[in-house]
Structure 1
Amino acid sequence: MKKTILSALAVSSLFLNAAAQQVKFTEYDLDNGLHVILHQDKSAPVVAVSVMYHVGSKDEQTERTGFAHFFEHLLFEGSKNIKRGEFMKLVSSNGGQNNANTTQDRTFYYEVFPSNQLELGLWLESERMLHPVINQEGVKTQNEVVKEEKRMRIDNSPYGKFTEKIFGHLFDGHPYRWQPIGSMEHLNAAKLEEFIAFFKKYYVPNNAVLTIAGDIDVEKTKTLVKSYFSEVPKGETITRKKYELPEITKEIIDTAYDANIQIPAIFAAYRVPGMESRDSKVLGMISSVLSGGGSSRLSTKMVDEKKTALQVAAFNYSLEDYGAYITLALPNKNTPLNDLLKDIDDEVARLQTDLISESEYKKLQNQFENSYVSANSKMLGVAENLSNGYTFHHKDANDINKQLEVIRSITREEIRDVAKKYLNKNQRVVLYYLPKK
C-alpha cells in the first residue's frame, strides 16, 4: 500500500512539474506583418528583447555567400539616430548585454536589460529595422571584422574546417553546403547596392518575430511596441525555394588536412530530417544515449574502458530543411582511426538491434526534462524558444510547451527504429581529418 501511495505521489508530482513549466504568452501581428510575442515573468527585474529574422545563409546566392552573417555585424554599425559605434555603448551604459548570431536558417538579435530599460531595447531594435546606416564605410569596416572572425574560428582553429567538408557532401545541391560565414572573395566582390538589396528583401517586419520576455506589463508593452514598430514599412512577400535532395545510397569517404592539429580525428555524418520532424527529436535522444555525459555508451566504452579515445561524441545538428547527424572521435595512444570508427559503428548497430534498457530510458527522459527546464530558466532562453517555435514550426510559438510532451511520448522502439532508418553505412560521409605536415 505504501509503495502504491508513493508511486501515485511521484506520478502526481511529475504532472505538477510539467504543468508548472508551461510558458504563458500573448501573441499578435502588427499591420506591417511583424509578429509579436510577449511573455510576462516578474520573478526578477529583467527583460529580454529579441528579434529573429527568418534569413540565414540558406537564402544567399551561390556567388554571394556570407551575406546573412555579414549583416549580423553590419546592423550594429548604427542608424540615423545612433552614431557609428554607439549601439553597444548604449546597451552597456544602461546595464544591459547584447549580441547576435546567425545560422543557415535565421538571424537572432537580442538585448537583456534591467526591466526599467525595456523602452531602450525596443528603440534599438526598431532603429535596426527601420533605418540602419548601410554605407561603404560600414561595409569596409565589417569586412575586416568578418575576415578576422573567419581566421580565428575556422582557418586557425583546430578542426575548424570539418563542417565545410562534411556539409559539402551531405548537402550537395542545397545552400547548406556552404557555411554561414561564407566566402571572403564573395564579400569583397559585392557592391554596396547588393547589400542594400539584401537588407530590403529580408530584414523586414513581415519576415521577423519580435519576442519580449521578462518583467513587463503586457498592455503597456503593446503600446510601446506599436509606437516603435508600426511605422516600419512592410516588405515584399518572400518565396523560398524548396529543395529535394536525392538520397545518399553509397558511403562517401573524404580526407581533410589541418595545419592547426597534431591529433587526427574521424567523423561519420548522416543526412537526416529537419527540425520539424519527430524523427529529429528521436535522433537527439539517440545522441544522448551514445555520448550524453560520462556514463554514456561511447564514453564508457572508448574513453573509460578501452582507453582508445581521448574524446568521442555524437550529436544531431538540426536545421530547417534537413539535419546532419555527426559522430566523431579523437584517438588515444595512436589508436587507428578505423578502430575508433568500428567501435562507434558497433554501438550504433546495438541501438539498431536491441532496445535500450528501462533504466537508460528513464535516465534519458530525466536528461531531456532537465535540459528543457534549464533552457527556459532564463528570459533570453524563453524568448529564443518562442521565436524558434513561430519561425520554424508552422508559426506555432506554443511549440515551446509541446516539446516535453513529444519527448515523453518517444518510445524505446522508436529509438531503435530511427537508428535503423538513418544511421547506416551506405547513407553517410566518412571524413578522415589529419594533421597537415
Structure 2
Amino acid sequence: MINKIKLSACAMILGVSGFAQEVEFTEYDLDNGLHVILHQDKTAPVVSTSVMYHVGGKDLKNNKTGFAHFFEHLLFEGTENIPKGTFMSTISSNGGTFNATTSLDRTYYYETFSSNKLELGLWLESERMLHPKIDQSGVDTQNEVVKEERRRSYDNRPYGNLLSVIQSNLFEKHPYKDPNIGYMDDLDAAELKEFNEYFDEFYGPNNATLVVAGDIDIEKTKSLIEDYFGPIPTGKEVNRSLIEEKPLASVKRDTFYDANIQIPASILAWRTPSMKEKDAYVLNMISTLLSEGRSSRLYKKLVDDQKQALEVAAFHLPLEDYGMYAIFAIPLGDASLNTLNEEIDEEILKLQNTLISDREFQKLQNTFENRFVNANSSVSGIAESLATYNVLFENTNLINKEIEIYRSITPKDVQRVANEYLKLDARAILSYLPKTDDVK
C-alpha cells in the first residue's frame, strides 16, 4: 500500500507561519510478518535505518521485570557475524550515529549513515534480529551496566524515583506499576535460558516494524530488505491481553523518602486513558496550559506571582493501555506541601468550571501545530514517528493526520476532560520527602 498525503499550509488556518511537512511513505509486509515502511527524502545524502519491536517494560518474563530494557543493552553485545564489543564501533567507524530507547510499550533501535551506507544499516539490524549472541558473558556484562544506570539515573539522582512512585500508586495489577528499568533482584535471579526465551518470544520479525527513511531508491531498498530480512524465520505469535485496572475511586496517600534531596515535593497523580483515545490528546493540551512556559497558569501563579514554588510541572505520560497524569511541585520558602496542593486544586477547579479563553485556546492550537511540524522536520524524526504510529497506534497515516485530532478539540473538550479525569476525590496524593537518619 502506498500513501501519499500532502498537507497544505495548515499554518494559514491557525495563524502559524510555516508549512506542515509533506510526508510520503510506502508500507508492506514481508512473508515472515515483518512490517516495512519506506520514506524517500533526497534533500540530504543521509539514511536512517530503524527497527521498533513491540515489547517494553510491561512485558514481563515469569513475573520478572526489566527484561525489555535489559535487551536494549544486550542486543549491542554482538552476533554470530559481529564480534563481541564491535557492534557500536562498526557504526561509528563508518561515520554513523546510533541509539536505542525502551519505553513501557516498545523498544526502538536506529542508525543514521550517509546514504551510501544503507546496506550496512540493514545488515546490522538483520544481524540483531536473526542471530544475536545471548550468552552468560554478555548477560553478566550488561547486568553491571544496567545496575550502574539505575544507580546514576534513579537511586542516586535527586527525585530520580519520582515516576516509579507514581506508577506504583496508580497501578496495582497492570505491569505499568513497575519501573521500566526493572528491579535488580529480578535481573539477578534470571537464568540464561529466560533471556533466550524472552528473545524468542518478542524479537521475531512478526513483532517488529522496519523503517528506512532518507535518500533511498524505493525499489532497490525493497530488494535489499528482502535479501537481508526475508530469510529470517517468523517468530512466535505474541498474545497480549489487557490487564484491567479498576478506576481509582478515592484519594490514595503515600509518602516516599529520598536521601538525595533536601527540599520536599508534592505529587498529585491520576490514571488516564490509552494514548489512542482523543481524550489523551486533550490531556496533552491541559499539561501545556498548566505548566509549559512562564505564562502558563501554574508557573505564573506559583512561581512568578505568589513565589510559593521553586518549580511546578504538569505532565501527561500517554501509554498504550493506560496513561498517567501528574503535577509535581517543589515549595519555596515557608510554603507547605498542603498549601501547594490547595493552590493547584484551585486551578484544576477553574478548568472544570470555566471554559478557557479564546486567546489561551488559540495559543494551545498554535503550540501543537508547531510541534507537529517540528516532529517531522528531520529524517530520523520522521522514521521514529512512522514506527510509533504503526506499532502503538496501528495507523501509520497518523503521521499526516494526527494534527487533525488536535484541531478537532474544543474548549468544551478541555473542560469535559478535566472533569472526567482530574477528579479531586479520586487520585494519588504523594509526599516526596528528604530521608533523614531517623527515617527507617
CA contact (8 A) 1:271 1:427 kept: no
- Rounded Cα–Cα distance in structure 1 between residues aligned with 2:114 and 2:321: 37
Contact 1:54 1:391 in 2 (8 A): yes
TM-score (norm 2): 0.95
Which residue in 2 is equivalent to 1:400? 399
Please provide the CA RMSD for this pair: 1.6
- 5+ unaligned residues in a row in structure 2: which ranges? 1-8
CA drift of 1:185 comes to 1.0
Distance 2:242 2:10 in 1: 47
Alpha-carbon separation, structure 1, partners of 2:364 and 2:38? 32
Q: Distance in 2 between matches of 1:138 and 1:131?
A: 14
Out of 162-171 and 77-86, give the one that drifted further.
162-171
Residues 62, 175 of structure 1: 8 Å contact kept: no
Alpha-carbon distance in 1 for matches of 2:93, 2:70: 26
Rounded Cα–Cα distance in structure 1 between residues aligned with 2:386 and 2:350: 36
Residues 180, 13 of structure 1: alpha-carbon distance in 2 compared, 3 angstrom cutoff: closer
TM superposition shift of 1:426: 1.9
Partner residue in 1 for 2:388? 388
- Cα distance change on mapping 1:10 and 1:175 into 2, 3 Å: closer
**Counterparts of 1:48 and 1:426, CA distance in 2:** 47
Alignment-derived partner of residue 328 in structure 2: 328
Aligned partner of residue 432 in structure 2, secondary structure: strand
Q: Which amino acid aligns with 2:92?
A: S
Residue 60 of structure 1 aligns with which residue?
Answer: 60
The alignment status of 1:25 with 2:37, answered yes or no, reads: no
2:263 maps to 263
1:306 Cα offset (Å): 0.4
Residue range with higher mean Cα deviation, 66-75 or 425-434 = 425-434
**In structure 2, what is the equivalent of residue 180 of structure 1?**
180
2:3 — aligned with what? Answer: none
Shift in Å, 1:334 = 3.0
How far residue 350 of structure 1 moved from its aligned partner, in angstroms, is 0.4
* Contact kept? 2:270, 2:325, Cα under 8 Å: yes
Q: Distance in 1 between matches of 2:42 and 2:332?
A: 50
More displaced 10-residue stretch of structure 1: 250-259 or 19-28: 19-28
Partner of residue 413, structure 1: 412
Q: Which residue of 2 aligns with 1:286?
A: 286
Between the aligned partners of 1:334 and 1:61, the Cα distance in structure 2 is 47
* Residue pair 1:264, 1:330 contacting (<8 A) in 2 also: yes
Letter in 1 for 2:112: V
After TM superposition, the structure 1 stretch with the greater mean CA deviation from structure 2, 269-278 or 14-23, is 14-23
1:376 and 1:12, CA in 2 relative to 1: closer, same or farther beyond 3 A? closer
C-alpha displacement of 1:384: 1.0
Amino acid at match of 2:90: L
**2: distance between equivalents of 1:11 and 1:159?**
39
CA distance in 2 between counterparts of 1:29 and 1:279 reads: 31
The answer to whether the 8 Å contact 2:11/2:18 transfers is no
Question: Equivalents in 1 of 2:10, 2:264: separation in Å?
Answer: 48
Deviation at 1:63, TM superposition (A): 3.5
CA 261–79 in structure 1, closer or farther in 2 if over 3 Å, else same:
same
Give structure 1 stretches of 5+ with no counterpart: 1-8
What amino acid is aligned across from residue 401 of structure 1 in structure 2? Answer: N
Contact 1:248 1:426 in 2 (8 A): no
Q: Structure 1 counterpart of 2:93, which letter?
A: S
Moved over 6 A (4+): 15-19
Q: Point out the more displaced range, 17-26 or 273-282.
A: 17-26
How far off its partner does 1:20 sit? Answer: 4.4
1 or 2, which has the higher helix percentage? 1
Question: What is the aligned partner in structure 1 of residue 218 from structure 2?
Answer: 218
| Corresponding residue of 2:6 | none
Shift of 1:19: 7.3
Equivalent position amino acid for 1:200 in 2:
D
Residues 104-146 of structure 1, C-alpha deviation per residue, up to 9 Å, x if partnerless? 1100001111111111111100000001000000000000000
Please tell me whether residue 192 in structure 1 is matched to residue 192 in structure 2.
yes
Aligned AA (2:418): A
Cα distance, 1:321–1:13 mapped onto 2, change above 3 Å = closer
The more displaced of 421-430 and 29-38 is 421-430
Task: Supply the distance in 2 between the matched residues of 1:179 and 1:334 (Cα, whole angstroms).
Answer: 33
8 Å CA contact 2:61–2:194 kept in 1: the answer is no
Q: Deviations over 1:191-231 (max 9, x none)?
A: 11110000001000000000111111111111111111001
Distance 1:283 1:16, change over 3 A: closer
- 8 Å Cα contact 2:10-2:20 kept in structure 1: no
Aligned partners of 2:194 and 2:310: how far apart in 1? 46
- The size of the alignment, in residue pairs, is 428
Q: State the distance in 1 between where 2:22 and 2:361 align.
A: 24
Distance of aligned partners of 1:345 and 1:15 in 2 relative to their CA distance in 1, 3 Å threshold: closer
